[in-house]
Structure 1
Amino acid sequence: MSTATPATRALEAAKVAFRRIEYDYVAGQDKIGLHAAEAIGADPGRVLKTLMVEVDGHPACAVIPSDHTLSMKKVAAAFGGKAAAMMPPEKAERMTGFHTGGISPFGQKKRVPVAFEETALGNGEIVVNGGKRGLMVALLPEEALRAAAASPHPLIAE
């Protein structure tokens, strides 16, 4: 099975070192990020989920630890807006070119602003979706920020 995706190709083009991690994706999971963390035997705080949002009607991407919840108030502030909401899954798929459960902050079809939860960017590798269900990539936080042209912000609910 080929593991090349728009996300992995974007990482390669940016000359980012990363490791591919494949796992058996189970459709219908409620908490996909937590399922992925368990499947690969990783700390859920180091396995990040990619969430597509709309801030004042404009698309954006928030990347947070799989064991946390997004704060819409903090998301709005991070992207300089007043109100934020989750993007409907169908719209997220059209905009990113990825299926839900496989959305990556790297290599999206339409480039949007990206923010990573600042507390997830400590020492060591983070694991982020690699652009398809069942594929994750492990990389250094600073490389993830560079590859996604992202910035760190507080994004999670207390």
Structure 2
Amino acid sequence: MSAKATPAVNALKQAGITHRLLEYDYDPDADAIGMAAAAALGVDPAMLFKTLVSDVDGVGLVCAVIPSPARLDLKALAAAAGGKRAQLAEPKVAERISGYVIGGISPLGMKRRLPTLIDASAGTLSEMIVNGGRRGLQIVAAPADIVEVLSAKLAPITVVK
């Protein structure tokens, strides 16, 4: 595999953010893509964050970035985003808005920039891993840098599975 530039990688390069790229063989049959990626890369799943596009009433679409082993707390997400209710966006909507395909959606370099909430657990890490904008590509960077580049907000938006 080659680490071709993606909008996500380009966003970090343009911002001057130090990062590393990790590649792995993507398994389209995996039940939990983030957990499969963590296993393939041999990293702690709590470091590898998945990107979920959600619809928050009164706010619109938002990007939620949460650890792979966790489950999105829709009530906490809605409250953190300033709404009352939230639901996951339909996959086709997430793909259209982000410009990425499911399994390759990155919070970085989205076609349409969304308000982004990253689970507060990222604040305790020295590095976090997010999708690199294509299946089989992950980006490792400091959480503070990712928060800055996305103008994101850290908030407790998960429940552990």
Whether the TM-score (by the shorter chain) exceeds 0.5 is: yes
Partner residue, 2:38: 37
**What is the aligned length?**
158
Partner residue, 1:101: 103
Identity, % of aligned pairs? Answer: 43
Task: Output the amino acid matched with 1:33.
Answer: G
Report whether the alignment pairs 1:15 with 2:16.
yes
Task: Output the amino acid matched with 2:138.
Answer: M
Task: Output the amino acid matched with 2:33.
Answer: I
Helix, strand or coil: the match of 1:45?
helix
Partner residue, 2:57: 56
Task: Output the amino acid matched with 1:126.
Answer: M
Helix, strand or coil: the match of 1:60?
strand
Runs of 4+ residues deviating >4 angstroms: none
* Alignment map for 1:110-125 (pairs within 5 Å): 110-125=112-127
Helix, strand or coil: the match of 1:128?
strand
Partner residue, 1:28: 29
What is the root-mean-square deviation in Å for CA atoms of aligned residues? 1.1
Partner residue, 2:78: 76
Structure 1 length-normalised TM? 0.97
Is the Cα–Cα contact under 8 Å of residues 49 and 66 in structure 1 kept in the other structure? Answer: yes
Please list the CA deviations of residues 42-63 of structure 1 after superposition, one character each: whole Å capped at 9, or x if unmatched.
Answer: 0000100001100016100000
Task: Output the amino acid matched with 1:3.
Answer: K
Structure 2 length-normalised TM? 0.95
Is the Cα–Cα contact under 8 Å of residues 128 and 136 in structure 1 kept in the other structure? Answer: yes
Distance in 1, Cα, partners of 2:39 & 2:19 = 20
